[in-house]
Structure 1
Amino acid sequence: MDFMDAFVHSSLESFDAATLARLAADPVRNTVALTSLDRLRRLPGEHPPTLITFHDGGQVVGSLVRTPPWPFQAADLPLEAVELAVRTAAEIDPDAPGVTGPRERSEAFATATGEKYTESIATRLYRLEELVEPAVEGTGRLATEDDVELLGAWRAEFLAEAVPEAPDEQTTEAVRSSLRLGNGHAVWEVDGTVAWAVASLPQSGMTRIGPVYTPPEHRRHGYGAAVSAMVTRWALERGATDVVLFADLVNPVSNSIYQRIGYRPVEDWAEFLWKR
């Protein structure tokens, strides 16, 4: 039995008015929505987002967001609203490829659709407790437009390795747009560039690190940890009070690296894609 109503927003301005303060009150859990919506405000996409809020007694009690071509984001979806969310989403956005978010919420949404689905990504969300900068050979610097071609190629390699089912994108343009939006891109150098990490501009005091990429031939030297720490410092210096990142649960090396430089687990997330 539904106890709430769903409202579909026709504009980001309307959705912001209803939810921005709510999302900002828990910026760690709502990290993906905060960063993706900020990008849309400053760099509108080709396809409009799907923006739904859930109301109980006139109060906003949750939301569901999708920024095409990505899946629905269920971090702010109350479990009590899952059935209503699934029905509403099917009516207004039947082409959505899946759902992502904290495991309990995303899995409940995926199950309620009745779709056949596969778990495409299992990650752990970490939050910085206290930064521990490692002593690693080499030096770091902030990336510039001169690095775009290399980093675009590295982004393609990262996606192929870590997120093989991600939507196709022009990776070089994605890096260039990220730089122009003011996100922090750091590279580590030892006789050339050996690692790369990105930090988003702080949103409601929250910055998310990622991607972090070290080409296979340069791994196991600490370069990923060093460049991650550098870009974390960049975020802290720009006022971030919550610095977060996701680590793939099938990669124990990355999970241990992040914990060594001061990150602590918050919760597990999962992404489910429909088998159509």
Structure 2
Amino acid sequence: MKVIKQEDVHAFGSLAQNLLTNSEAENNLPLGILQRMQEDPSAMTANLLHIEEEGIPVYLTMRTPPHLWILPSVERMKQQHIQSLAAYLFEHNYDVPGVLGEEQAVMWFLEAWKGLDQTKEANLHMRQGIYRLEKLLPIAHQEGKLVVAEDHHIPRIAEWLGRFGEETNESIIRGQAKELAQDMVQTKRAHLWVVGGEPVSMVNRARKTPNGSTINAVYTPDQHKRKGYASQAVWSLTKKLLDEGCKFCALYTDLDNPTSNSIYKKIGYKWVGNSLVYHFEPKASKEST
């Protein structure tokens, strides 16, 4: 078993497609990031690693700093693969602020890392459900319409992203809300549900994968909640993406928020897997009393 560092994003992207597309919705994060990197190599930097057994790629991981290491869902994944990755990262002094991904892979990594790094502890940040939709279910139409966000919407979207980051405890979103809003608008991924000329809810087309698209950043400010706007926005963007040729759409939900899980199921999203997010933080020092 050998861990190999990959510099060529196109070669790594081909390898990833072979390993990950059998579970494309569950692996929308690494596949989507790699697709964007292949389209624009300057978009972001990444650490790319894969494991080979007898010359055959069997698993991979990647990280785009400052984000966490991604542990994808691979059909023939073994605990030894994850143990080898953890050992490689530790021995080569990689920054490991945390991991996210398929729950069994994450738990195996936590077990391996605990035996390697005694200075940090793993803290659960979020339990996520991954949902996939191929066919929309009909819903009652709400007033308003879905529009592609424009430049004059950037301050509003930045404000909403900041609030979204606070609600989801995502410090990176909070700290980069303005930059994220600009990118989402300039790439025409950000959408708004507008009623009477007033934006009341936000939804974003996050990533493209070979056969699908992922939706994220679903947010409705308090004064507009419980009116069905978020459901309508997600339904409408999902329909738009399917009409444009996507075979499926995917999204993540917070498993500890039963309301959001129920909303997405009602419009046709079906659960396909879970993802765990763990942050590694310095252990609290033990002070003598």
TM-score (norm: length of structure 1): 0.90
Is the contact made by 1:119 and 1:272 (CA closer than 8 Å) also made in structure 2? yes
* 1:70 aligned partner: 67
Residue of 219, 244, 251 corresponding to 2:250: 244
* 1:32 aligned partner: 29
Mark the runs of 5 or more structure 2 residues left unpaired by the alignment. Answer: 115-119, 283-289
Q: In the aligned structure 2, how far is the partner of 1:179 from the partner of 1:34?
A: 22
* 1:146 aligned partner: 152
CA offsets 1:87-115 (integer angstroms, 9 cap, x no match):
11223453221000121111211221014
SS of the residue aligned with 1:253? helix
Structure 1 residues 11 and 92: alpha-carbon distance in aligned structure 2, compared to 1, 3 A threshold: farther
* 1:158 aligned partner: 164
2:9 equivalent to 1:12: yes
**CA-atom RMSD, angstroms?**
2.0
Q: In the aligned structure 2, how far is the partner of 1:153 from the partner of 1:197?
A: 14
Alignment of 1:184-199 (within 5 A): 185-191=190-196, 192-199=198-205
* 1:122 aligned partner: 127
2:105 equivalent to 1:105: yes
Aligned-partner residue type, residue 78 of structure 2:
L
SS of the residue aligned with 1:200? strand
Aligned length: 271
* 1:79 aligned partner: 78
TM-score (norm: length of structure 2): 0.87
CA offsets 1:39-86 (integer angstroms, 9 cap, x no match):
33326356x311111111211111011111111100146233011010
Q: In the aligned structure 1, how far is the partner of 2:231 from the partner of 2:258?
A: 14
CA offsets 1:24-47 (integer angstroms, 9 cap, x no match):
34321210001222333326356x
Q: In the aligned structure 1, how far is the partner of 2:146 from the partner of 2:22?
A: 33
Q: In the aligned structure 1, how far is the partner of 2:78 from the partner of 2:110?
A: 12
Structure 1 residues 45 and 87: alpha-carbon distance in aligned structure 2, compared to 1, 3 A threshold: farther
Bigger mean CA offset, 80-89 vs 107-116: 107-116
Q: In the aligned structure 2, how far is the partner of 1:209 from the partner of 1:49?
A: 22
Bigger mean CA offset, 202-211 vs 20-29: 20-29
Is the contact made by 2:128 and 2:254 (CA closer than 8 Å) also made in structure 1? yes
Bigger mean CA offset, 73-82 vs 264-273: 73-82
Per the TM alignment, residue 128 of structure 1 is displaced from its structure 2 partner at its CA by: 0.7
Is the contact made by 2:121 and 2:280 (CA closer than 8 Å) also made in structure 1? yes
Structure 1 residues 105 and 201: alpha-carbon distance in aligned structure 2, compared to 1, 3 A threshold: closer
Structure 1 residues 33 and 106: alpha-carbon distance in aligned structure 2, compared to 1, 3 A threshold: same
CA offsets 1:223-252 (integer angstroms, 9 cap, x no match):
000000111112112211121100001111
Mark the runs of 5 or more structure 1 residues left unpaired by the alignment. Answer: none
SS of the residue aligned with 2:208? coil
* 1:174 aligned partner: 180
Taking only the aligned residue pairs, the percentage that are identical comes to 24
Larger Rg: 2
Residue of 117, 126, 137 corresponding to 2:143: 137
Is the contact made by 1:202 and 1:235 (CA closer than 8 Å) also made in structure 2? no
Is the contact made by 1:63 and 1:76 (CA closer than 8 Å) also made in structure 2? no
Q: In the aligned structure 1, how far is the partner of 2:193 from the partner of 2:148?
A: 9
Q: In the aligned structure 2, how far is the partner of 1:8 from the partner of 1:122?
A: 29
Is the contact made by 1:64 and 1:73 (CA closer than 8 Å) also made in structure 2? yes
* 1:44 aligned partner: 42
Is the contact made by 2:148 and 2:188 (CA closer than 8 Å) also made in structure 1? no
Per the TM alignment, residue 193 of structure 1 is displaced from its structure 2 partner at its CA by: 0.9
CA offsets 1:125-181 (integer angstroms, 9 cap, x no match):
001142124322222222122211111111111111113344664212212223333
